[in-house]
Structure 1
Amino acid sequence: MITRRSLLIGMCFVFIAGAALAQRGYRWRMSAPHTERNGVPDWEVNPNFPGDLFTFVRIKYDSYGGRGGGGGWATDYRDSDLNFSLRLQQLTSLKVNPEPIVLELTDDQLFDYPFIYIIEPGSLVFSQAEVAALRRYCLNGGFLMVDDFWGDSQYENMRRELKRVFPDRDPVEVPLSHEIFHNVYDLKEKPQVPSINAARRAMGGDAGSYEWASDGSDTRTPHYRAIHDDEGRIMVFICHNTDLGDGWEREGENQWYFEEFSVKKAYPMGINIVTYAMTH
């Protein structure tokens, strides 16, 4: 059974002005020396409560496009996971593990962690063992976030694989009025984060996306869909036509991208998602 223990006790949040966050974050990220943490600062963990931490868990899957050999699961790794863990530690009262981890769905340790993350699932094919493990994980209180895939065909692949996991449930579009868009940061729109190379800056200063889908389908509209349990709790949160992970990974590479997409969209949405996962 998934447990959250004292992670939820006293869970409150600290708000920092976007401009100040952008300036400080960009400076430390660009000037820090390159280490095995790629310049991301470390922090101490209370030795008396080593298990009472939020740990960012990335899921490794073996199949990609049905060919085997992996591939997409490691996109944005490891900077994305390190940066997001740091921002959770800085901007919330959660006690966060400075070392994110990678697990397979069939790993026995999976049930020690209430939140897991899958990236680039556009060609993912679950094994039957992964299907059974993910179903058991979610129905026992776990939360899966799916991120970074574009266009109709990639979504259809993910929908088909999730249908194998939950034959009796379908993803539904989550309305902007849902608490997941407002529980910490009050988002006025469903955020779309392009990869850094597809970010567009119009002459008027507006930020947009040049992302495209290989099947030619429309990628202009971000979709946030969910699969719910019998009590209406979100078990699977699907971020489609957006790439929150690149907003986390690339925060130190370009000041404009960091301010427009990391600060305004990727981190607020990510923090809202984790907050929902840890309180439901």
Structure 2
Amino acid sequence: MRFTPGLFIGIILLLCGFQPPTYKLAKLKYNGGGDWYANRTALPNLINFCNTTLKTNFNPQEAIVEVGSPELFNYPFAYLTGHGNVVFSNAEAANLRKYLTGGGFLHIDDNYGLDKFIRKEMKKVFPELTFEELPASHSLYNQKFKFPNGLPKIHEHDGKRPQGLALIWQGRMVCYYTYECDLGNGWEDAGTYPDDSPEKRQSALKMGANLIQYVLTQ
């Protein structure tokens, strides 16, 4: 074996117990004019929380990937959020379906205003499936952190209860949709939403960690 300076440094880091990040989580960029880029600090904060509490080894920075890109298949977990319009072309819907049925996972987080668009677009991806609400007894709510009442409510807008909805394909959850919850807002930097308490933010991060743990082990 020919030892290069880079290889030598890599061996020293491994001997010292350093392990490079294994993979990234991705934010999904979509067309239609909606603010796919919302919740700018959410994923980095969730990544840090998971690396600390679950001992995962995610890259600290999120990736940005387009719905129709082959790069999507590089990421085990994709996050989609926003307030407005979402449009998937036929090719994008087919790419997303291939990703999800091939082992990928999508978390859709309604930032209020997304619902009437995303349900229609996900029908392009899985015309044969319908979102179904998960019971509070589901294992998603009983990972490292316990949520005996199911999905927590993070932001209050119109008095509706939070709902954790899922698309189940051939016995496997491929998509989890947090509706009337605003989970990702609770992952953002402390102080982003002054009315949010530290307890709400911790609840959101713990629920996010449960989701990551569930996805990596289901």
TM-score normalised by length of structure 2: 0.84
Map of 2:54 onto structure 1: 92
C-alpha separation in 2, matches of 1:84 and 1:128? 31
1:217-236 equivalences in 2 (<5 Å): 219-230=159-170, 232-236=171-175
Could you list the runs of 5+ residues in structure 2 that have no partner in the other structure?
Answer: 1-12
C-alpha separation in 1, matches of 2:194 and 2:179? 25
Map of 2:217 onto structure 1: 279
Following superposition, the deviation at residue 224 of structure 1 comes to 0.7
Map of 2:183 onto structure 1: 244
Map of 1:21 onto structure 2: none
From 21, 24, 36, give the equivalent of 1:73. 36
Could you list the runs of 5+ residues in structure 1 that have no partner in the other structure?
Answer: 1-44, 65-70, 195-208, 213-218
Give the number of aligned pairs. 203
1:127-138 equivalences in 2 (<5 Å): 127-138=89-100
Which 4+ residue blocks in structure 1 deviate beyond 3 angstroms? 45-50, 252-256
Following superposition, the deviation at residue 256 of structure 1 comes to 7.0
**RMSD of aligned residue pairs (Cα, Å):** 2.3
Following superposition, the deviation at residue 83 of structure 1 comes to 1.2
Asked whether the 8 Å contact 1:250–1:258 carries over to 2, the reply is: no
From 148, 165, 171, give the equivalent of 1:188. 148
Deviations 1:131-150 (A, max 9, x none): 01110000101100000243
Deviations 1:173-211 (A, max 9, x none): 1111100011111112220111xxxxxxxxxxxxxx2x1
From 253, 257, 278, give the equivalent of 2:196. 257
Partner SS state of residue 274, structure 1? helix
Q: Aligned pair in 2 of structure 1 residues 221, 186: CA closer, same or farther (>3 Å)? A: same
Following superposition, the deviation at residue 104 of structure 1 comes to 0.6
Q: Aligned pair in 2 of structure 1 residues 166, 247: CA closer, same or farther (>3 Å)? A: same
C-alpha separation in 1, matches of 2:38 and 2:147? 26
Asked whether the 8 Å contact 1:172–1:227 carries over to 2, the reply is: yes
Letter in 2 for 1:56: L
Structure 1 position 110 matched with structure 2 position 72: yes
1:28-43 equivalences in 2 (<5 Å): none
TM-score normalised by length of structure 1: 0.67
